[in-house]
Structure 1
Amino acid sequence: MFLLCLALGVAAIAGVGSLARGLTEGLAREGRTILGGDAAFSLTPNEATPAARATLDAKGRVSEVATLRSMARAASGDAALVELKAVDGAWPLVGAATLDPALSLGDALAEKDGVWGAVADPALLARLDLKLGDRFRIGSLQFEARARLTAEPDRLSEGVGFGPRVVIGEAALRASGLVQPGSLVKWTYRLVLPDGARGDAAVADTIAAVEREAPDSAFDARSRLNAAPQLERNVGRFTQFLTIIGLAALVVGGVGVANAVSAFVDRKRETIAVLKSLGASGGTVFLIHLAQVAALGALGIAVGLVVGASLPFVAIAALKDVVPLPLAPSIYPRELGLAAAYGALAALAFAFWPLGRAHDVPVAALFREHVAPERRLPRFGYIAATAALAAGLAGLAVFAAYDRRIATIFVGATLATFVALRLVAWAIMKLAARAPRPRRTELRLALANVHRPGALTPSVVLSLGLGLVLMVTLTLIDSSIRQQLSNELPARAPSFFFLDIPRADREAFAGLIRSKAPEAKLESVPMLRGSFVSIKGAPPDEASINPESRWALKGDRGVTFADAVPEGSRVVEGEWWTPDYAGAPLVSFDRKLGKALGLSIGDEIGVNVLGRTITAKVANFREIAWETIGINFFMVFSPNTFAGAPYMNLATVTFPGGGGDAQEFALMRDATKAFPSITAIRVKDALTSISAVVGNLAIAIRVASGVTLVASVLVLAGALAAGHRRRVYEAVILKTLGATRKRLLAAFAAEYALLGAITAVFGLAVGSVAAWGVTVGIMGIDFAFDPVGAGIAALGALALTIALGLVGTWRVLGEKPARHLRSM
């Protein structure tokens, strides 16, 4: 049990760390292919100016790519949201696009007989029931589906989309009517440096030179070293979560280590007595047995490291055709060393206490411990060493974490759970000792077993409680997320988001919606894109900002203007401007983000919008109800800020009570047919895509948390095995006094049922509180209690306790009294 508990936790941490490192290394190794060049410079929604483009052209070979969301419509009238990608003749600069059939990209995208070609994700062809050679419409143009897109070299760098990919030529995009002032088009310029100037330093120098020579371009620059930053951040966060689950398994296994060491010391009682009677000091006895435990611990850690190190190799063999991620399996000493350190600290922290208790126990007490067990605390030195090792384990967990705040919360919650479980065990024993004695012999014996010296109560409650708390927490978090996605959000969210509504078509679009869906609610606001240029007069990179909020300063953000407070917002600090305000530009900020950026009322921010830098003063802070998924923006400017500027409109359409599929699809067909440049995002489809991602993550989390459950089972079995010797002694005495096997079995079953039931109730309560804290406090969503899922976990824990207890008890009851009586 010692080996299994330690190896399992170390293997989980080593495996997760090695897998994440392999993915990070793969991203770095394939960074040039993933990014599509040595560097990439992005703009939204405007193209680079001729001067900025000339600056890029002077540095090396450049390819221009435009990405946006649009609608693809088949001749049947069916429509689907697509991730549209328009490429020039130089794309791809690195890697290759794979088409089926194997055409050249130029032939696949060329204009033939007045019709442009397109290559599409097979999912789009299936969704619109199209075959190769069929035509479909995007914007104002018809396209012919000439090939299936089976591989795209730079797909990972562009993030996750809501629809299937369609690739067209850049000239076709410009002829489609989709590119208008304010359209949400992202223009990316991939750059390949000349041969001999592609080192990491050369790439960094090139990016710095472009920013210096084209200071007003507002480029969002990336190098091949951070080709997919969003993916890397998500990998880091998910790795931390899985590592925390691995640590939980290791901590649960630590209880098993303590139980195993206690059983080891118990079995060595006669040896220790002989050593002490021959003059061995308590310190010598401690070191002898510590050396044995350390040797066994080293073996367990080694087994865990071997299993963990092999995980990336197993993963790439099993998932290479399922998950197209650039995994680079290898042996990673840092990750394995970290896992070994976790294992060593956990093993020593949980072993010192039971080993230390043997130091001062007198020889006579060791011989008579069967009938007069003596329980005392170890010496202060052992207590201090245990505390120092536990603090080292906690410090390592925080120091090595991706997000130290989350790791600190985990450490605090683990410590609190340990203390709470120990108090629960103490309370159970005290209550059992003071409870009235039942008349039935079996129940009286079960109650006595709960509180007697050497009772299994603390071990069972600790080993079962930790695993159960984690399982209930994860189950309820999962159910809350699913409740939010499947019930609450669809009920409150709009039915559609309509993007890129031209300013000139706003009234015509509103008239169409009123005529086709008179019962629906239409909301429309202007929408522009802007990037931060300055915060309180300083460049964003120099501003003192919480690292967790720096995401807001990267790339472009949606901005709008309004003369009244937007619906779903309320001003909580400062004053809103008057409808006829005509002074210097003002801006309203989301309170949470504004405070995170260090802003106060009256501070100034600089935002680049449509190539022009707007300097605006913070007039007020708003509290925004983001959970409604309605139209709202972090930044809302006073209307005079953008007087005369070209912009698009963003609109939402909400059917009262939620629309039916037929009703929504009909409106989407009518709207996109009448206004080909408009993009319709059906919220139900978006939520379905998100639910699929969440479902896949939930599966991965359940598999990982299963490691903790296995550790709990091992620890519980180890706790019962640790008490085997004492149970044999008791069973022999009771059978000698006339107890039948049936009565002893009933007594032990009642004891395990009582311990399992109380622990299950505790795990259910604490797990529910933990899940509530995560969902409400961290995720910001409503908590949904799932009685079925939580109940299954609790009942499973109860059944597991009884089953394992009775399996061990059956062996005890099979012992022959005579053999044991002769040795007493």
Structure 2
Amino acid sequence: MAAAQGEPAANSLRLGLAARLALRELRGGLSGFYIFLACVALGTGAIAGVNSVSQMMTGSIASEGKTILGGDIRFEIENRDIGEAERAYIDRLGTVTAGANMRTMARKPDGSDQSLVELRAVDGAYPLYGGFETVPAMPVDAVFAEQDGIFGAAAAQILLDRLGIAVGDTLLVGQAEFTIRGVIATEPDALSEGFGFAPRLMVSRQALEQAGLIRPGSLVEYSYRVRLDEAAGSRDLAALQAQSNERFPDAGWSVRTSRNAAPALTRNIERFSQFLTLVGLTALIVGGVGIANSVRAWLEGKRGVIATLKCVGAPSTLVVAIYLIQVMLIAAFGVLLGLAFGALMPFAAASALEGVIPVAVSASFYPASLAIAAGFGLTTAFAFAVLPLGRAGEVPATALFRQQGFEASGLPRWPYLLTAGLTLAALCAAAIWFADDRRIAGTFVAAVIVAFAVLRLVGHGVQSIARRWPAVRSTPLRLAIGNIHRPGALTPSVVLSLGLGLALLVTLALIDTNLRRELSGNLPDRAPNFFFVDIQSSEIDGFDRVVSELAPDGKIIKVPMLRGRITGLNGQEVNAENVPSEARWVLRGDRGVTYARNLPENSRLSAGEWWAPDYEGEPLVSFSAEEAGEIGLAVGDTVTVSVLGRSITARIANLRDVEWESLSINFVMVFSPNTFAGAPHSWMATLTDPDADAALEGAILRGVTQAYPTITSVRVKDALELANQLVGQIGIAIRAAALVALIASVLVLAGALAAGNRSRIHDAVVLKTLGATRATLIRAYVYEYGLLGLATAIFALAFGGVASWFVVSRIMTLPSEFMPDIALATLVGALVLTVGIGLLGTWRVLGQKAAPVLREL
């Protein structure tokens, strides 16, 4: 019993002694730990900064939810206005503002120019929250009021610049004339309206009706925003949202509250933040190799101290405890440096983000984000420091006095291996647990683990090849090959340090290049020149004649189009949260649907059979095969769709493989013609003419707009240019994140060189004593680092090529191509990094005097 009680006391005394010795030894400064600090601070700072900025942005959106949404609750319905009962229910909740959104054409009165616009119509109650401001400033009623039979409008500055007009000029929209009364300065609820491909033009609801744009089948989005009165405002918004859907199950409306004002933007911010966090974690884990190298190099300089401690009776556990305390204290300092950078990043980013998201961004300190980053940083430092510390603790004192270092000590005992393994497993589990999309995070972590494993195999493979390489006559090359496979060689550390960073850079560069090539080259060549929507049945024949006269060599494809919302699958109510995230878009909101007698172009059957042209039986539907598989649908299942307020249940007759990347007219659902017999609908058309130049496209746009002002014409090239700009902006952020991983790799490479400097000094002195010249040694090092850089670059190209192919072809379903120029740039970059940093690290080695070193041998 006394022995049992004495054991904790002995452990406590031993720990206290270890802490005193560790603190006393730290008085000598942080020499040898600067790379260690940089690795920890870089990864921690990246994670802390990204998460803090993300929390700032999502917090700003949440805090201004009412202004962003334009109300406490919003009801949105596609292509039909709400009924009397539904409107009465909404009116009882509080103050209501009604709006409508659609895409249409705005043109100059002389017909010389026109532009696609995002047309928004508001009523006199707008806005319920926030302030709508124009330049020049005037009351909202005055902006949209009718004067001398002409309604007013407010436009985005880009629309005025595009058409070459100014405030006070007139525009034609549909069948109505408008006077531009002001430029839109602030549209408080613009964020909740979603992303637009065209400039904003705002008018009144009364003016929209006069323009004659709303007709059967028109693509219109009606919205009703409510500022709740006191009675309704005291109720839970989520409960009110659920009650609205339960009370009107067939309304087909989408109900959103101010607590989720901009779900798409919030979701995208969280996903992008997750990606950048994972990249930062990768940099931290890559830096973990640098941590291990730094600890190893530091312990090299402590051989005498460790040997002395062991000679006076210090057990291995005490030795390990002393240096583990030192390592974790220094790691904590590095984490603090990273947290300071991460805490300041929101303040630096706040001003830059003012033009990115139209809400007031308020920077602050975010303890939760900083705590997560600190946890990742300390855990990584501990996991990668345990193995070299455990290895040093197991080496006998006599061996430490005789040997050059710890290379011959082998692996530490199983408790150290188990501790390191469990800590790394906890690190991976935390990365997945804190992620917004755990499936993606799990895939990312698994890829990093595989890359680490493959890189270790590559390192050992390079050593094995060097060991078996036949003798060469060149002395520098023979020395280089020997350095690659000798005991304690830098090969595993160099390959591991550079491999993951270069592989990540190659992957992102190939993805970015493939996307840009597709958007700027391949897609415009395959895509139609124009999309035409809102073509009425009474206009389709005349439209066909006009386009055929303007583009006689063009190919016109016309399809009927309605809008429908999936409300049930196999008789069960739809729940988008129960399907994979990549397929949820099919179940959210209204989808374009059509009917056809024959199989559409750019499609092929993958299951089932197409119906007969004269089919008159139960409603049938053809479903896109990829989306059906993600949702869990098969031939024979049923789909219930709400179209024009009427629910239709159709059986899936077949599945189609759809070429979405062609940008042709494609639909998730194509119904049998009898399904919508007699239903009012509009038409959609495309025009494809590869030989059409800018002048001809302008003539087509003017001709269609003048003949049919209510038809909306979308020039595909304009949309692709906008998408290209967005991809470019995202690509800059992604490349910056990848650069963090590359910097971590460079730091690790420098740490690996520092860890091997002691043995390098002895080698250089012995070789110089035996007659080797400085030039011979430099050539040997150039050969060695060049061969290692070449092996690393080959791995990075192979891994990055496969990873980018998977993302582009399997996830984005776009053509993927390997880029030789990217391969060459990676190869050159790897060689420059390894040879350049290697020579910088060994330059001091070549200048060492022989006598002091020889006396220690």
Structure 1: which 5+ residue stretches go unaligned?
none
2:97 alignment partner in structure 1 = 63
Equivalent of residue 720 in structure 2, options 680, 683, 687: 687
Q: Does 1:673 align with 2:706?
A: yes
1:729 alignment partner in structure 2 = 762
1:771 alignment partner in structure 2 = 804
1:446-492 Cα distance to aligned partner (Å, 9 max, x none): 22111111111111111111111111111001011111111111111
2:532 alignment partner in structure 1 = 498
Correspondence list, 1:463-474, <5 A: 463-474=497-508
Equivalent of residue 816 in structure 2, options 783, 786, 793: 783
Q: In the aligned structure 2, how far is the partner of 1:564 from the partner of 1:433?
A: 66
TM-score (normalised: structure 1): 0.97
Cα distance, 1:256 vs structure 2: 0.5
Q: Does 1:250 align with 2:270?
A: no
1:378 alignment partner in structure 2 = 412
2:615 alignment partner in structure 1 = 581
Q: In the aligned structure 2, how far is the partner of 1:498 from the partner of 1:177?
A: 17
Cα distance, 1:334 vs structure 2: 2.1
With 785-794 and 717-726 compared, the bigger mean Cα shift is at: 785-794
Q: Does 1:757 align with 2:790?
A: yes
1:62-83 Cα distance to aligned partner (Å, 9 max, x none): 0011011011112352111111
Contact 2:154 2:201 in 1 (8 A): yes
Cα distance, 1:544 vs structure 2: 5.2
Correspondence list, 1:422-571, <5 A: 422-541=456-575, 545-571=579-605
Equivalent of residue 854 in structure 2, options 801, 821, 824: 821
Instruction: Rate the CA distance shift 1:119–1:535 in 2: closer, same or farther, 3 A.
Output: same
Root-mean-square deviation (CA, aligned residues, Å) is: 1.7
Correspondence list, 1:233-244, <5 A: 233-244=267-278
Q: Does 1:272 align with 2:309?
A: no
Contact 1:116 1:142 in 2 (8 A): yes
SS in 2 for 1:577: coil
Cα distance, 1:635 vs structure 2: 1.0
State the one-letter code of the partner of 1:283: T
Cα distance, 1:760 vs structure 2: 1.5
Cα distance, 1:386 vs structure 2: 1.6
SS in 2 for 1:499: strand
Instruction: Rate the CA distance shift 1:693–1:325 in 2: closer, same or farther, 3 A.
Output: farther
Q: In the aligned structure 2, how far is the partner of 1:631 from the partner of 1:242?
A: 35
Correspondence list, 1:329-344, <5 A: 329-344=363-378
State the one-letter code of the partner of 2:158: A
Contact 1:571 1:622 in 2 (8 A): yes
1:131 alignment partner in structure 2 = 166
Correspondence list, 1:196-345, <5 A: 197-198=232-233, 201-321=235-355, 323-345=357-379
Contact 2:576 2:584 in 1 (8 A): no
State the one-letter code of the partner of 1:778: I
Equivalent of residue 178 in structure 2, options 143, 147, 153: 143
Q: In the aligned structure 1, how far is the partner of 2:474 from the partner of 2:612?
A: 82
Cα distance, 1:575 vs structure 2: 2.0
Equivalent of residue 835 in structure 2, options 802, 811, 814: 802
Cα distance, 1:207 vs structure 2: 2.4
Cα distance, 1:603 vs structure 2: 2.3
1:748-783 Cα distance to aligned partner (Å, 9 max, x none): 222111211221122122111111111112221111
Equivalent of residue 718 in structure 1, options 723, 740, 751: 751
State the one-letter code of the partner of 2:228: L
Cα distance, 1:346 vs structure 2: 1.5
SS in 2 for 1:339: helix
Cα distance, 1:103 vs structure 2: 1.5
Contact 2:391 2:406 in 1 (8 A): no
Contact 1:365 1:374 in 2 (8 A): no
Q: In the aligned structure 2, how far is the partner of 1:545 from the partner of 1:463?
A: 39
Contact 1:535 1:543 in 2 (8 A): no
Instruction: Rate the CA distance shift 1:709–1:371 in 2: closer, same or farther, 3 A.
Output: closer
SS in 1 for 2:784: helix
Contact 1:56 1:210 in 2 (8 A): no
2:223 alignment partner in structure 1 = 188
SS in 1 for 2:393: coil
Instruction: Rate the CA distance shift 1:131–1:547 in 2: closer, same or farther, 3 A.
Output: closer
Instruction: Rate the CA distance shift 1:745–1:601 in 2: closer, same or farther, 3 A.
Output: closer
Instruction: Rate the CA distance shift 1:384–1:577 in 2: closer, same or farther, 3 A.
Output: same
1:203-252 Cα distance to aligned partner (Å, 9 max, x none): 23332333344333221000001111111111122111111211111111
Instruction: Rate the CA distance shift 1:286–1:228 in 2: closer, same or farther, 3 A.
Output: same
TM-score (normalised: structure 2): 0.93
SS in 2 for 1:131: coil
State the one-letter code of the partner of 1:457: T
Q: Does 1:159 align with 2:194?
A: yes
Cα distance, 1:197 vs structure 2: 4.8
Contact 2:576 2:587 in 1 (8 A): no
Q: How many pairs are equivalent? A: 822
Q: In the aligned structure 1, how far is the partner of 2:641 from the partner of 2:308?
A: 81
Q: In the aligned structure 2, how far is the partner of 1:599 from the partner of 1:773?
A: 25
Cα distance, 1:680 vs structure 2: 0.5
Q: In the aligned structure 1, how far is the partner of 2:145 from the partner of 2:760?
A: 83
State the one-letter code of the partner of 2:185: T
Correspondence list, 1:24-39, <5 A: 24-39=58-73
Cα distance, 1:427 vs structure 2: 1.5
Equivalent of residue 634 in structure 1, options 659, 662, 668: 668
Q: In the aligned structure 1, how far is the partner of 2:620 from the partner of 2:791?
A: 60
Q: In the aligned structure 2, how far is the partner of 1:761 from the partner of 1:213?
A: 63
Q: In the aligned structure 2, how far is the partner of 1:264 from the partner of 1:373?
A: 14
SS in 2 for 1:357: helix
With 292-301 and 55-64 compared, the bigger mean Cα shift is at: 292-301
SS in 1 for 2:495: helix
State the one-letter code of the partner of 1:780: T
Contact 2:621 2:669 in 1 (8 A): yes
Cα distance, 1:585 vs structure 2: 1.4
Cα distance, 1:260 vs structure 2: 0.6
1:350-406 Cα distance to aligned partner (Å, 9 max, x none): 111111112321222111212995141111121122211121111112222222222
Q: In the aligned structure 2, how far is the partner of 1:765 from the partner of 1:664?
A: 43
Q: In the aligned structure 2, how far is the partner of 1:542 from the partner of 1:632?
A: 22
Contact 1:490 1:658 in 2 (8 A): no
State the one-letter code of the partner of 1:426: H
Instruction: Rate the CA distance shift 1:822–1:196 in 2: closer, same or farther, 3 A.
Output: farther
Contact 1:527 1:647 in 2 (8 A): yes
Cα distance, 1:604 vs structure 2: 2.2
Contact 2:106 2:115 in 1 (8 A): yes
Q: In the aligned structure 2, how far is the partner of 1:279 from the partner of 1:406?
A: 51
Q: In the aligned structure 1, how far is the partner of 2:353 from the partner of 2:81?
A: 39
Q: In the aligned structure 2, how far is the partner of 1:238 from the partner of 1:372?
A: 43
Contact 2:392 2:406 in 1 (8 A): no
SS in 2 for 1:681: strand
1:410-446 Cα distance to aligned partner (Å, 9 max, x none): 1221111111111111121122122223223222222
SS in 1 for 2:816: coil
Instruction: Rate the CA distance shift 1:696–1:543 in 2: closer, same or farther, 3 A.
Output: closer
With 298-307 and 546-555 compared, the bigger mean Cα shift is at: 546-555
